[in-house]
């Protein structure tokens, strides 16, 4: 149990740092109302989770420890449902109903598609 917790802790720390860096880069380069940073982070994370699940189904080297590190740790620390939820509330409060609907539908739809494509890249 301690081993699993340490593996997840290290991976989630790395994922959190990656999320911060991507968010920072996107915020500095794109000055728009749409929450592009969170959107990209979640779509990329969905794709990576699909890739990692595909790898775990295809290769024996993808042990439980690697799944804890890559999927639960890095992808869990990188993606952010709480920020996604907050972004939608912020859009609603600002009266940006079209952006909110677009963000919700696009995030969920492309998130599912990215996860599916991630698994396909390994097969």
Looking up tokens 């963000």, which residue turns up?
103
Measuring CA to CA, which residue among 107, 119, 97 is closest to residue 38?
107
- Cβ contact 84:107 at 8 Å: yes
pTM: 0.83
Alpha carbons 58 and 35: distance in angstroms, whole number? 35
Quote the longest CA-to-CA distance of the chain.
50
What angle, rounded to 10 degrees, do the helices at 36-58 and 2-29 form?
Answer: 140
97 pLDDT exceeds 80? yes
Structure tokens that stand for 51 in this block: 């890739």
For the segment 86-112, the average pLDDT, to the nearest whole number, is 94
Average pLDDT, the chain: 93
Structure tokens that stand for 99 in this block: 């952006």
Q: What is the pLDDT of residues 28-68, one digit of tens each?
A: 999 888 999 999 999 999 999 999 989 988 888 889 999 99
Domain ranges of the chain: 2-122
Confidence grade of residue 102 (pLDDT, cut at 50, 70, 90):
very high
Alpha carbons 87 and 106: distance in angstroms, whole number? 14
Measuring CA to CA, which residue among 64, 70, 54, 92 is closest to residue 11?
70
123 pLDDT exceeds 80? no
For the segment 79-96, the average pLDDT, to the nearest whole number, is 90
Half-sphere exposure of 28 toward its Cβ, with a 13 Å CA cutoff? 6
């Amino acid at each position: 149990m301690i081993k699993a917790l340490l593996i997840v802790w290290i991976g989630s720390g790395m994922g959190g740092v990656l999320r911060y860096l991507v968010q920072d880069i996107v915020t500095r380069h794109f000055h728009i109302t749409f929450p592009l940073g969170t959107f990209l982070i979640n779509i990329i994370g969905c794709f990576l989770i699909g890739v990692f699940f595909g790898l775990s189904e295809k290769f024996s080297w993808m042990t439980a420890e690697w799944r804890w590190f890559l999927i639960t740790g890095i992808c869990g620390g990188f993606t952010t449902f709480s920020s996604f939820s907050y972004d939608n509330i912020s859009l609603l409060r600002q009266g940006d109903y079209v952006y909110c609907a677009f963000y919700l539908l696009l995030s969920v739809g492309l998130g599912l598609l990215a996860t599916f494509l991630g698994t396909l890249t390994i097969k």
